[in-house]
Chain A
Amino acid sequence: MKVSYNWLKEHLPLELTAAELSTHLLAIGFEVAGHQKIGPTFSGVVVAKVVSREKHPNADKLSVCIVSDGAANWTVVCGAPNVDAGQTVAYARIGAVLPGNFKIEGRKLRGVESQGMICSRTELGLPKDVDGIWVMGEGPKLGTDVGSLLGPADDVLEVEIGTNRPDCLSHRGLARELAAYFRKELKPLGGGMIESKKESFPVAVEDREACPFYGARLIEGVTVGESPAWLKNKLELIGLRPINGVVDITNYVLHDIGQPLHAFDADKLNGARIVVRRSKNGEKLLALDHKTYDLPEGLLVIADAEKPVALAGVMGGEESAVTTATKRILLEGAFFNPAEVRKSSQKTRLRSDSSYRFERGADPESSRAAADRAAGWILQLCGGNAAKPSEATTPRVRHSPIRCSAAVINAILGSDFKDHEIKLVLGKIGFVTDNGVEFSFAAPSWRHDLFTPNDLAEEVGRFLSYENIPYRMSPFSPKTARLTPIETESRRVRVRLASMGLSEAYNYDLLSEKTLTACRLSADAQPRVANPLSEDWAVLRQSLLPGLLKNAQYNLSRAADAVRFFEVGKTYALRGKEVDEVWRVAGILLGPVLDARWQAARAPRAAFYDGKAIVEDLLEKAGAVTWAKLSEPAAGKTASDPLFHPTNSLRASINGAPVGTVGWLHPRVSRAHDLEREGAIVFDIDLDRLAEREAAAARFKPFSALPVSRRDLALTLDKTVPYGRVESVVRSCKIEELQDILLFDVYEGNNLPQGKRSLAIRLTFGRADRTLTDLEVAKAVETIVAALGKELGASLRG
């Protein structure tokens, strides 16, 4: 809210500078977001008349003018094309100081002595009107200080008023708050009742709860013209556009004492009556903002005998607006229920200074006085005769007083404020009655935020200063601080992945359908946002991978040569009327695995097995993990499955349920993201499932000091036999002494039969109690080779 300091001082005498006032306002909870200094930023500029104008003898574009400031004539060289004899101008004398600390001195211009300067508005720091000098028009006496014509200096503060303090949304309201804080008295409001016997239009209120008070006063014979300068100036200072005398007065009263009012052109109201009622189906209102609103049924409207003429508390209608042609006005002063006004404002998306105050809560007891005050101004500035107002009043139920004590207030604040201090503060805000043990506090009609001792504690804290409340470290609670399992797990996973060279990405949870389609994912089972910012933000994600693919694409197009990203985040799925949220971790690897550009041979590009290593690492703690190709039937599916290459991806399962996937991108997905077909390795893990499994504490197992025996086997098998089968056949021989199987070479080449490949494995045998004999080892190898031959058709190579 814009506050003029001069205007504020009309209600409360204050000696502070505007900057000091801002500091005090902040201390009691009103942030000052802006401070604009108003008034002349120049001196020594006076009103003068151009007596004569001649062309400069030595310059085509300059004129030599004689100006008179009433006391003497001066020669001034002027470059403005619009200067002419007879004009009243702003003349900067020698010694004048213009904005920017520009001092005017006498000097020669192309051989002619210039004794000052004729100013443009821009040169005086004023809004520009025309090119060239400021031609002021007749009126002000020659020699008058131009600064004094601009109105007094002022400070306009942009004060932020919380939604709980609508009572401060006016100059008087804020002054009232400051008066209580500074323990000063507000200046009394002038004006009084206007006595009249003439009747106004009858008023009928159909919903008394929605409109507890409605007053309408007829004023006849008004002349609506421009407002006087002081009023226009006031409104302009706080950013309002003056419209006409009557409208300006209602706006003035709104910003002066906080009560929204409305004036109708009484001759435009059908049937000479006012009904406060609910809107009916199909009703429309052409509002003052020149837009037509279809009113939904049930909004509170002000209607004449035929149709709505205003949306109650929000905005009046264009058709009944007061114009310069208006002769009779009907002035409304009412109190509307905040929830009603808020509903109307939200349903029509129409907001105004009036709705802003009503929906936060106006003072229900000031409507009449404010309307009277406005009527007084109208009579004074627009003339006319006021009738007696018609009113519909419903007695207000007051809140019961708050019973409280200094001890309770001090407990809430943790403070040690004195009993009398507390009561003094509260007595300035409302009405305190003391019975010696506790007191009771009754809030004034303009405060809608004081119901509980906590509310009072805040008032006491604000006025006696939060700075006077001590710093206290309450003792630790007996419970020990704990992390949630998912937090423990995400920390572990984050640190593991970062140590494996993946950087962490943060993506938004909302995706577009287009993005999902590019990833072969469907939005069908996904929760959607009803009011997305744009189509890019429509669907809650089921996978972190679309975001990571975009990140990869983004960085590759900006000359990154390797991309290793992971993200820990939530994914979503619709389940009936609910939304399931699952924490997942996903990642993408692309490009060289080492930063070794000058030794390219040492830096192979990330391959499937690099991704598999990462997933294995993360799943290690979970215990028994089984791996299967994504294309094989499985007990469960993961939302991101379609994004993966079906045959070059593996699914990891624990107890039969999928826990993670790693593999190539589906060719269509890599194509859609401009990625090489084999380039990107992606993985996706269910972090919630991983978090469920607590890693067992490590137990040391002694290892044998005895030597082991190693045997290398080069096996030739069909290419189609996966290596995993080899290991399982070897293990199925159940040779107790077999300690380890290591694959150390995979060879496919010319000297092998078509469709075959060679796998070289190293078997390690040993016992804890003794060294094995060669014969024992040979026997074991024989068993294994036989089994491999029988089960897999493997033969030993040369």
Chain B
Amino acid sequence: MTRADWEKSYARAESALREAGVETSADLLKLEEVRVRFMGRKGELTELLKSLKDLSIEDKRELGPKAQALKAVFDAAIEARRAALEDLGDEAALAADAIDLMLPSIRPPKGRLHPLTTTLHEIARIFQLMGYSWADGPFVEDERHNFSALNIPEDHPARDSHDTFYLQGLPLLLRTHTSTVQIRTMESQRPPLRVVCPGRVFRHEQLDATHSAVFHQVEGLVVDENIGLADLKGHLQTFLQKLLGSSTKTRFRPSYFPFTEPSTEVDVKCFFCPGTGCPSCKHTGWIEILGAGVVNPVVLKGVGYDEKKWSGFAFGIGVERVAMLLHGVSDLRDFYTNDLRFLKQFDESLL
């Protein structure tokens, strides 16, 4: 091939390239056809580059870069078009892929812990942090653990407030309070001790919005040397402030329980109204939350503790009552109906 021939071929290729329509190729397939036409094994540009070898060294040196430059322009055009076509393709694919993201999610079923479980755990957890161990006792009890060991003798009117389920044909009953566990714990452990006894209790009461024949209490008992009413006040105020918030105001007022002496009922300042009275606090500005007292030495003596050396305090909290306050439930029966529409409103996140 002569230089003139080569230059003719070059001019042909150059003009063919211009008219090849790289920039207008409709799709990647067409673009590939164009690329093959010029840069395939027998492509025009391939041939042109190959034919450089037939030229003289001088011509090669002069025309080689020219040919390479033409190839570079072509490659760049092909690449640019390819990128553009790919972008267009992606757009189309993305458009075609679109699903309705607003359809409802597909969830594994969400289980809920019962609000009484979470409330009971919250109460017990706070006491655990204060060094209380967990204790439990049977639901079916004897008369001694439920009553007489707690200084509630058979003929005492204090029993009237404990409407009791008795078992048929057996000298047994369903415990009316978790205070039974006080006795069971002291019978099996030596002081000092610090326990909470959460659990189910039973009263022979017709069901209504505020009464249930089955409900839950958390009992607490501390026995140590030199324990007095001041310790009770300190522990219970700490507890109530952890449960209900650090600004919770408490009120300790005298009360009566046969197994504690002195006894107290503890109120917290109503957190539903500014102390002006509302249905939640029965228009008193205060909400009764628990009963407590210094363990009656008669009870300590009864379980064989030296009541001269040891003293203690005990308390009982109604779990339903706390749950009702915390969650704004006004009918106690809701806790035992197991309506999913009720349970769904509570979460296990407290546990």
Where the two chains meet, the residues of A that have a C-beta atom closer than 8 Å to any C-beta of B are 26-29, 162-165, 338-339, 342-343, 359-360, 410-415, 452, 454-455, 457-458, 461-462, 466-467, 469-474, 476-484, 486-487, 491, 494-495, 497-510, 527-533, 537, 540, 551, 554-555, 558, 560, 562-566, 570, 572, 577-579, 581, 593-599, 602-603
Contact across chains for B206 and A471 when beta carbons are under 8 A apart: no
Cross-chain contact of B158 among A28, A163, A412, A477 (Cβ < 8 A): A163
Are A454 and B297 closer than 8 Å at their CB atoms?
A: yes
| Contact A554 B339, beta carbon cutoff 8 Å | yes
Residue in B227, B340, B348 whose Cβ sees the most chain A Cβ within 10 Å: B340
Cβ of A527 and Cβ of B229 under 8 Å apart?
Answer: no
A508 and B213 CA atoms in complex are apart in Å by: 9
CB pair B156 A484 closer than 8 Å: no
A528 touches B109 (CB 8 A): no
Q: Which residues of B contact A165 (CB under 8 A)?
A: 256
CB contacts under 8 Å to A, within B118-148, are 121, 128-136, 138-140
The answer to whether A529 touches B174 (Cβ under 8 A) is: yes
Query: Residues 259-296 of chain B: 1 if any A CB is under 8 Å from the residue's CB, otherwise 0?
Result: 00111100000000000000000000000000000101
Q: How far is the CA of A596 from the CA of B116 in the complex (A)?
A: 30
B191's nearest neighbour on chain A, judged by CB, is: A477
Q: Decide: B294 and A454 in contact? CB cutoff 8 A.
A: yes
Q: Which residues of B contact A458 (CB under 8 A)?
A: 254, 261-263
Task: Tell yes or no: B88 within 8 A of A by CB.
Answer: no
Q: Enumerate 10 A-B pairs (CB-CB under 8 Å) in ascending A order.
A: A452-B297, A458-B261, A498-B111, A501-B111, A506-B116, A510-B165, A527-B168, A531-B166, A558-B341, A602-B106
User: A residues within 8 A CB of B246?
Assistant: none
Q: Which residues of the other chain, B, contact A476 by a CB distance below 8 angstroms? A: 130-131, 194
Q: Tell me whether A29 and B336 are in contact (CB under 8 A).
A: no
Is B228 a contact partner of A412 (Cβ separation < 8 A)? Answer: yes
Measured between beta carbons, the chain B residues less than 8 angstroms from A360 are 157
Name which of B169, B174, B262, B294 has the most chain A CB atoms within 10 A of its CB. B262
Q: Does B170 contact A (CB under 8 A)?
A: yes
Cβ-defined contact, A342 with B264, below 8 A: no
13 extra A-B contacts, CB within 8 A, seeds A414-B229, A477-B193? A29-B255, A343-B155, A414-B228, A455-B261, A479-B192, A479-B194, A481-B129, A494-B113, A498-B111, A505-B338, A506-B336, A529-B167, A578-B170
Q: Is B233 a contact partner of A471 (Cβ separation < 8 A)?
A: yes
Query: Which residues of B lie under 8 Å from residue A467 when comparing CB positions?
Result: 251-252
Closest-CB distance, A189 to chain B (whole angstroms): 27
Bound complex: CA A581 to CA B348 (Å)? 27
Given contacts A481-B131, A509-B139, are A474 and B234 in contact (CB under 8 A)?
yes
Known contacts A28-B254, A165-B256, A473-B234; decide if A555 and B116 are in contact (CB<8 Å).
no
Interface size class of B (residues with CB under 8 A): 35 or more
Q: Which of A27, A457, A594 contacts B106, CB < 8 Å?
A: A594
Among candidates B110, B264, B298, B344, residue contacting A501 with C-beta atoms closer than 8 Å: B110
| Inter-chain contacts of A554 with B (CB < 8 A) | 337-339
Task: Select B204's contact among A457, A462, A501, A531, beta carbons within 8 Å.
Answer: A531
Does B108 lie at the interface of the complex (its beta carbon under 8 Å from any beta carbon of A)?
yes
Chain B residues within 8 Å of A482, by CB = 133-134
In the complex, B53 has a CB within 8 A of chain A? no
Given the complex of chains A and B, what is the CA–CA distance between A224 and B168 in angstroms?
51
- Segment 65-124 of B: residues with Cβ below 8 Å from A: 103-104, 106-114, 116-117, 121
Q: How far is the CA of A412 from the CA of B192 in the complex (A)?
A: 17
Among A27, A339, A414, point to the contact of B155 (Cβ < 8 A).
Answer: A339
Q: B190 CB to closest chain A CB, in angstroms? A: 11
A555 contacts B340, CB within 8 Å? yes
Residues of B contacting A342 in the complex (Cβ-Cβ under 8 angstroms): 155-157
The distance in angstroms between the C-alpha atoms of A504 and B96, with both chains bound, is: 45
Question: Contact partner of A581 among B138, B230, B297, B340, CB < 8 A?
Answer: B138
B351 within 8 A of A: yes
Decide: A507 near B338, CB < 8 A? Known: A479-B133, A598-B104: yes
Flag if B231 contacts A414 (CB, 8 Å): yes
Decide if the interface of chain B is mainly helix, strand, loop or mixed.
Answer: mixed
Residue in B closest to A339 when the chains form the complex, CB atoms: B155
Given A477-B192, A506-B335, A560-B340, the answer on whether A527 and B167 have CB atoms closer than 8 Å is yes
- Chain A nearest CB, measured from B312 CB (Å): 10
Q: Which residues of A contact B206 (CB under 8 A)?
A: 533
- Cα of A486 to Cα of B194 in the assembled complex, Å: 19
* Alpha-carbon distance between A597 and B264 when the two chains are bound, in angstroms: 55
Q: Within the assembled complex, what's the spacing in Å between the Cα atoms of A471 and B249? A: 13
User: Which 10 pairs, one residue from A and one from B, show the smallest C-beta to C-beta distance?
Assistant: A414-B230, A414-B228, A501-B109, A29-B254, A458-B262, A498-B111, A162-B256, A339-B155, A472-B230, A504-B114
Q: A474-B231, A504-B113, A506-B114 known; A558 and B336 CB under 8 Å?
A: no
For B127, the closest partner residue in chain A by CB is A481
Residues of A within 8 A of B235 (CB): 473-474
Instruction: Kindly state the separation between the CA atoms of A579 and B158 in the bound complex, as whole angstroms.
Output: 27
Q: How far is the CB of A674 from chain B (nearest CB, A)?
A: 17
Q: Judge whether A411 and B228 touch: CB under 8 Å.
A: yes
Whether B139 contacts A581 by the Cβ 8 Å rule is yes
Least CB separation from A26: chain B residue: B253
The answer to whether B351 touches A495 (Cβ under 8 A) is yes
Q: Say yes or no: A562 contacts B111, CB within 8 Å.
A: no
Residues on the A chain within 8 Å of B204, using CB: 531, 533
- Judged by a CB distance under 8 angstroms, whether B214 is at the interface is yes
Find A457's partner among B133, B136, B227, B262 (CB 8 Å cutoff): B262
Complex partner residue of B136 from A343, A487, A531, CB under 8 angstroms: A487
Residues of chain B with a CB closer than 8 A to A537's CB: 213
Rounded to whole angstroms, the CA-CA distance of A343 and B154 in the bound complex is 10
Contact A498-B348, Cβ < 8 Å, known A484-B134, A529-B167, A595-B107: yes
A164 contacts which of B229, B256, B294 (Cβ < 8 Å)? B256
Instruction: Indicate if the CB atoms of A462 and B254 lie closer than 8 Å.
Output: yes
Bound complex: CA of A473 vs CA of B160, how far in Å? 35
B238 proximal to A (CB < 8 A) = yes
- Cβ–Cβ contact A528 & B168, under 8 A: yes
A271 → B minimal CB distance (Å): 32
Residues A494 and B117 in contact, CB atoms below 8 Å apart: yes
- B202 partner residues in chain A, CB cutoff 8 A: 509
Chain A CB within 8 A of B45 CB: no
Contact of B229 among A163, A412, A502, A540 (CB under 8 A): A412
- Name which residue of chain A comes closest to B250, CB basis: A471
B205 nearest CB across to chain A (Å) = 8
B179 at the A/B interface (Cβ < 8 Å)? no
Q: How far is the CA of A530 from the CA of B169 in the complex (A)?
A: 8
A564 to B107, CA, bound (A): 14
Closest to B116 in A: A506
